[in-house]
Amino acid sequence: MTHQATTAVIGKEGLAALITVLAERGRTVIGPTVRDGAIVLAELRSGEELPYGSGVELEAGHYRVRPRQDGAAFAHSAGPQSWKTYLHPQRERQWSADRGNDGAWTVTGNDTPAPSYAFLGVRPCDLRAIAVQDRVLAAGPHTDSRYRARRARVFLVVVECTEPGATCFCTSMGTGPAVDGAYDLALTEVIDERGHRFWARAGSDEGVSVLAELPQQPADAGCATAARELVAAAAGRMGRTMPEVDLQVLMRETLHADRWNDVAARCLTCGNCTMACPTCFCTTAEDVTDLTGDHAERWRRWESCFDLEFTHLPGGPVRASGHSRYRQWATHKLGTWYDQFGSSGCVGCGRCIVWCPVGIDITEEAHALNAEREADGVPGKATP
Ligand code: SF4
Ligand code: SF4
């Protein structure tokens, strides 16, 4: 680290300057903005595009943007997209092939340079989700080179959560609302009698040098204390909780619970939950050719374990029923993900609850499974 300040207090003009500085460094700045009745992630060109004065009203199967009197920029929880939209895009060309005049094929990989993103407004739960996808896509023996290239170049500006939504449960999953993980800059928004400001901390050399370019005040203990109190209060205001049991064990011990039939009767197997989830990573491949048959391409696109094709083998789909597909998704998220990747696959962002068209709530399902297990005489096991 350099000897420049690693903490400071910036105002709205400092936040606007942050976007300018990052853009001047050649980065595409992605952050929250209001568009089409939602707070979405999109390229930001100025601080005016941030969702100042907009909050969200969330419930199972319900999302509305609501005006806020305090003018906060980051008083909103998870929106319809997550950062995987940029790091692990929905659709990407893998290679193309062209037939020459001699009939021979030339195959060309997708070597377009990785974009240099700056993500502004990453929530602590979503920072953890990026870490989960890092383990899946960038660690281990078979890594995704294009994910790794994008991930290596990203500049992360985390914003701690001071306004949890009604569907949030990061406290239960140990993923928020305070930041815990590697970042370049962390901000906490404070609005009180002393004004509207952001407590800023740098977490990398580039974070230090970016922070040095912003109009700022020296970090004062009052702002830091106010920020910590706001985040601590947010931890106590989560809209949802998970049962306080070992969820991995719960999933293992309730594989044959009646509750799976109950949820299967409601689930449309639409796959919305998997598309919205910041950690779901599954993909499939599609091959296309032009009309001449001289040009072919292979594309990779997101796939959902709710799709019948997902497990299609010569004898038909392995998981033919909605019961088996919902159970596979939930038990993977909360249970077998530990076996595969050493952590939970759920970070408690609540997106799957909000964007489920019939309002299926993974926390409600976990509580119901736990209640059924206890009714069957298997006591809950406290989370260590
Ligand atoms: S399972 Fe639901 S709450 Fe958990 S990370 Fe995925 S979308 Fe968020
Ligand atoms: S749980 Fe909801 S969002 Fe997920 S597949 Fe079923 S109906 Fe669709």
- Residue 314 and residue 206 share a domain: no
* pLDDT for position 377: 77
CA of 354 to the centre of ligand 2 (A): 10
Domain span at residue 314 reads: 247-375
Q: At 57, list the tokens.
A: 């009203």
- Residue 263 and residue 156 share a domain: no
- Residue 270 and residue 206 share a domain: no
Which pLDDT tens digit goes with each residue over 335-380?
Answer: 999 999 999 999 999 999 999 999 999 999 999 999 999 998 765 4
- Residue 228 and residue 253 share a domain: no
Mean pLDDT of 222-230: 96
Give a yes or no: residue 317 inside a domain.
Answer: yes
Last residue of a domain, one of 235, 257, 272: 235
Q: At 183, list the tokens.
A: 């970042």
* Domain count across the chain: 2
Burial of 75 (0-12, 13-18, 19+ CB in 10 A): buried
Tell me the CB-side half-sphere exposure of residue 115, using CA atoms within 13 A: 14
Which pLDDT tens digit goes with each residue over 61-88?
Answer: 999 999 999 999 999 998 999 999 999 9
- Residue 158 and residue 277 share a domain: no
Last residue of a domain, one of 186, 208, 235: 235
Scan for tokens 């206890």, then name that residue.
374
Give a yes or no: residue 56 inside a domain.
Answer: yes
- pLDDT surpasses 50 at 19: yes
Query: What are phi and psi for residue 196, nearest 5 degrees?
Result: -105, 115
- Residue 101 and residue 70 share a domain: yes
Last residue of a domain, one of 170, 201, 235: 235
Give a yes or no: residue 251 inside a domain.
Answer: yes
Give a yes or no: residue 383 inside a domain.
Answer: no
Instruction: Please compute Rg for the chain using Cα positions.
Output: 23
Q: Are the C-beta atoms of residues 292 and 235 closer than 8 Å to each other?
A: no
Cβ 362 under 6 angstroms from ligand 1: yes
Give a yes or no: residue 345 inside a domain.
Answer: yes
Mean pLDDT of 244-269: 97
Mean pLDDT of 237-251: 97
Atom of ligand 2 nearest to the CA of 274: 4
Atom of ligand 1 nearest to the CA of 276: 7
- Residue 51 and residue 89 share a domain: yes
- pLDDT surpasses 60 at 384: no
* Alpha-carbon torsion (118, 119, 121, 126), positive or negative: negative
- Residue 252 and residue 211 share a domain: no
Q: Which residue has the higher pLDDT, 367 or 318?
A: 367
Helices and strands counted in the chain (H then E): 14, 16
- pLDDT surpasses 80 at 22: yes
Which residue, by CA, sits nearest to atom 2 of ligand 1? 352
Give a yes or no: residue 216 inside a domain.
Answer: yes
Q: Which residue has the higher pLDDT, 312 or 161?
A: 161
Q: Give the 3-state secondary structure of residue 196.
A: strand
* pLDDT for position 381: 44
Share of the chain above pLDDT 90, in %: 91
> Which are the contacts of 111, defined by CB distance < 8 A and separation ≥ 6?
none
- Residue 323 and residue 270 share a domain: yes
Which residue, by CA, sits nearest to atom 1 of ligand 1? 346
Give a yes or no: residue 240 inside a domain.
Answer: no
Nearest to 127 by CA among 274, 278, 242, 6: 278
Q: Which residues have C-beta atoms less than 6 Å from ligand 2?
A: 267-273, 306, 356-358, 360
Which pLDDT tens digit goes with each residue over 260-281?
Answer: 999 999 999 999 999 999 999 9
- Distance, in Å, from the CA atom of 20 to the CA atom of 14, rounded to the nearest integer, reads 10
- Residue 254 and residue 228 share a domain: no
Report CA-CA distances (Å) from 332 to 220, 286, 344: 45, 25, 9
**Average predicted confidence (pLDDT) for the chain:** 95
Give a yes or no: residue 241 inside a domain.
Answer: no
- pLDDT surpasses 90 at 383: no
